[in-house]
Amino acid sequence: MKPVLCLGDICADIIIPYADALKAKSDPASCLNADVRPAEGGSAANTACAIARLGIPVLFCGTCGQDA
């Protein structure tokens, strides 16, 4: 099987649990207690990871910025 090539960038995703997001909508002060965390991501990188987990060969070509 030929590998799938994913092109794109690597960037940080910000993970906000759905329940915390709903609380913040009704009570903005609750954002201070939300379990917000960064995670590795980017749409092309996430897609490459998902394809690999399916057992399909995958290649990734992309860039990563110098910022935190």
pLDDT by residue (tens digit) across 22-43?
777 777 776 666 778 888 888 8
3-state class (DSSP) for residue 4: strand
E strand or H helix that includes residue 22: helix 18-26
The pLDDT of residue 68 is 65
9 or 53, which is more confident: 53
Taking CA 61 as the corner, what is the angle to CA 57 and CA 59, rounded to the nearest 5 degrees?
A: 5
29 or 8, which is more confident: 8
The pLDDT of residue 2 is 95
pTM of the model: 0.63
